[in-house]
Chains A and B, each alone.
Chain A
């Protein structure tokens, strides 16, 4: 009826399989978690790990400039790494307001 070739049939079935899998994921998210999607899992993957980031990467965060990034790196080397984000508040130049501004873009790992 549709005159689809074998390749086209495989493509249509493949897209329907993707849809089916997506339905299952959606259902599982709603059933087992508070959220509607897997979006929460992804968030940490977009954040900068302040224990491994170089100066250029730290400076890509809005609010962290040349001097502040160097202070963060110096502090990291002195303390042999950060254990929590709160430790950043002890660095000169990171006020409460600045910490609130940058905390969504960084993480400790």
Chain B
């Protein structure tokens, strides 16, 4: 079996889907898993029997992971908040995300530690989304006591944080002037704020919003018009932080550490540190996690001087993400992110052999042919999902991506250079900002151009 980890991913996902579709008992599956684990140990020298038992074990592990994720601790806040009982509730805890400020208010994810209900105090845990009116200077890690109504919306699709709390008055918030956040996350948010202020100060509002989306993973400020024609030309994926960003970060951090004369073996750990830091800066969404996990495993492979494999690192990333949160399997971003990379990993080599690209003698033509085939593979891998979820099909995607992706790559490099150069005197920033504006203009102009072409897209 060439890609063992790929096979594990398939069986793990089948286990997750089995629990999603059918009602199963955790205890029964756990006993089956134990029996299968023992059987694996006994059959370790047998060929096919061992492999079949191992696959069955992976299947049950996937099922158990999802079943376990449905179960919450007895003190979880979700157990106190019923569907038709909105409170009010008093909760104590700390801010567990970077607060988002909008319309003289803020919203954030709140890690609950204590709950007050009907005059009684309870030890509690879990996360809840909070919207506060009237205050917009919260920070990550700040400890608060909140008074407001909390409820469980009827339709909440992510399954990660199904509870919402609304605090309507600033007087309902008590700030305890202590901070419980992790130093690592605080540093990541500090760097993110710095980079945001650099973009806002040195770029036009539109270019700043594009850079914030592509470099920092903050898509909220992208104008609707831009988003619309990027969707129509099937180039909206460039707005998502992904593998190229992680590759550039790994490269830049490696070069910087080399210039600082850091020994080679320690440099690898430095690169891994910067990759994880960047993952937190950009919000640790599924595509970023995938790219970061793949980057970390590829770096470890280089450190151990082992041959690296795109397919194995992709499979490892999938197992890692699903083991933490199996419900990610049903999220659009997980499916699109992995489908596109899997299509490039599996389809692209076949297409390359089919069209005999290696036989092309002119280097420039070879690069164009390879780019076309990669774009085509990614399009093939994701077209079905995009048609199903977004009800749109974009035949212009392959041609548009051929031009947009190199420009997006240049924009990522110039945006990152702008953010990193901010530690130097501001006089250096003007040049990077000028180049950045040019690339943003070209990128958006091409996106609009391709979306305006006849038969560029069709809604289903």
Query: Per-position contact with B for A54-89: 1 when CB-CB < 8 Å, else 0?
Result: 000100110000000000000000000000000000
B20-54 interface with A by 8 A CB criterion: none
Q: Are B434 and A25 in touch, CB under 8 angstroms?
A: yes
Q: Mark A1-31, 1 if CB is under 8 A from B, else 0.
A: 0111000100110110011111111100100
Please report B residues at the A interface, Cβ cutoff 8 Å. Answer: 203-207, 209, 223-226, 228, 251, 254-255, 258-259, 410, 413-414, 417, 428, 430-438, 440-441, 444-445, 448, 452
Task: List 27 contacting pairs A-B, 8 Å CB cutoff, sorted by A.
Answer: A2-B258, A8-B254, A8-B255, A18-B410, A18-B413, A18-B414, A21-B435, A21-B438, A22-B434, A22-B436, A25-B438, A37-B437, A38-B204, A38-B438, A38-B441, A39-B203, A39-B206, A39-B207, A42-B207, A42-B437, A42-B444, A45-B226, A45-B441, A46-B223, A46-B444, A57-B224, A57-B228
With the chains together, A23 CA to B438 CA distance in Å? 12
Report Cα–Cα, A2/B258, bound state, in Å.
8
A41 within 8 A of B: yes
Contacts of B452 in A (CB 8 A): 52
A61 nearest CB neighbor, chain B only? B224
Judge whether B223 and A40 touch: CB under 8 Å. no
Q: Which 10 A-B pairs have the closest CB atoms?
A: A39-B204, A22-B431, A60-B224, A22-B435, A25-B434, A38-B437, A46-B223, A45-B444, A22-B434, A26-B434
Distance from A26 Cβ to chain B, minimum over Cβ atoms (Å): 4
* B interface majority secondary structure: helix
Contact of A46 among B206, B259, B410 (CB under 8 A): B206
In the assembled complex, the CB of B411 is this many whole angstroms from the nearest CB of chain A, namely: 11
Chain A residues contacting B434 (CB-CB under 8 Å) are: 21-26, 29, 37-38
Separation of A12 and B252 alpha carbons in the complex (Å): 9
Candidate in A15, A22, A24, A29 with the most chain B CB atoms within 10 angstroms: A22
A60–B231 Cα distance when bound, in Å, is 15
Q: Are the C-beta atoms of B431 and A23 separated by less than 8 Å?
A: yes
Chain A residue with the shortest CB-CB distance to B417: A15
CB-based contact B435/A42 at 8 Å: no
Q: How far is the CA of A57 from the CA of B285 in the complex (A)?
A: 26
Q: How far is the CA of A11 from the CA of B207 in the complex (A)?
A: 24
Across the interface, which residues of A come within 8 angstroms of B226, CB to CB? Answer: 45-46
Which among A14, A19, A52, A57 is the interface contact of B432 at CB below 8 angstroms? A19
